[in-house]
Amino acid sequence: EPKQGSFFPKLKTIKLSSMKSLNKIWNSEPPSDSFIKLDTLIIEECDKLVTVFPFYIEGIFHNLCNLRVTNCRSMQAIFDIHVKVGDVANLQDVHLERLPKLEHVWKLNEDRVGILKWNNLQKICVVNCYSLKNIFPFSVANCLDNLEYLEVGQCFELREIVAISEAANTDKVSFHFPKLSTIKFSRLPKLEEPGAYDLSCPMLNDLSIEFCDKLKPFHKNAQRKPLFPEEVRIAKLFNS
């Protein structure tokens, strides 16, 4: 049973739409056991919101499965993370679209990088986020064991999918995505391959790349390996 005083302990879905003056979703840290069944959060056209989950509200999103944030003109960060070691988020599906000022999907406390696990994430789609420079912090990318679908499009400042510079030892960077089957990149003019690394995605069977001028997914030379392993079966490949 939820503790007395907890907020909306049985609420499963929240949708906030066209709330033009809303600048905070959560005013302060709620009592424990608040929103413990919250499964889906949808935010659209809330032009004064700058973050969805500020650092003082960490406990709420641990049971969240589905997150959709669209058309929020001032949104700068989705997650502002300062959480306890060993926490595991249940988030499975993330859709972010038309967030022109978004700079971070995950904004991590620099002193506590790697403290939250996102093992349950299955699908992420990020489209029309013009200020975003990367999708995943290095520590987040290292625990995406269940990621199946990755789509990124029209993010014109995006330089890398994973923030490789955050790695402690950039000479031995490796990523393993055992369930990743679909990757779609579109109109990412500044996206380039990182330096030396090992990438394993044995289930990848649908790769679509369109108008990513600096990306050479199968180029190989003495300094770097190809971005994708040779066994990938390409469904569509367009590079202009």
What is the pLDDT confidence band of residue 228, given thresholds at 50, 70 and 90? low
CA 181 vs. chain centroid, Å, equals 17
- Reported as a single tens digit per residue, the pLDDT across 130-170 is 999 999 988 888 889 999 999 999 999 999 998 876 665 55
Above 90 in pLDDT, residue 18?
A: yes
pLDDT for 1 equals 46
Q: Do 125 and 151 meet the contact criterion of CB atoms below 8 Å apart?
A: yes
Burial (Cβ within 10 Å: 0-12, 13-18, ≥19) of residue 208: middle
pLDDT single digits (tens) 69-127: 999 999 999 988 765 545 667 899 999 999 999 999 988 765 554 456 788 999 999 99
pLDDT above 90: residue 219: no
Q: Per DSSP, what are the bridge partners of residue 209?
A: 185
Distance CA 41, CA 213 (A): 35
From the list 95, 22, 89, the residue with the least C-alpha distance to 60 is: 89
Report the chain's mean pLDDT, rounded to a whole number: 81
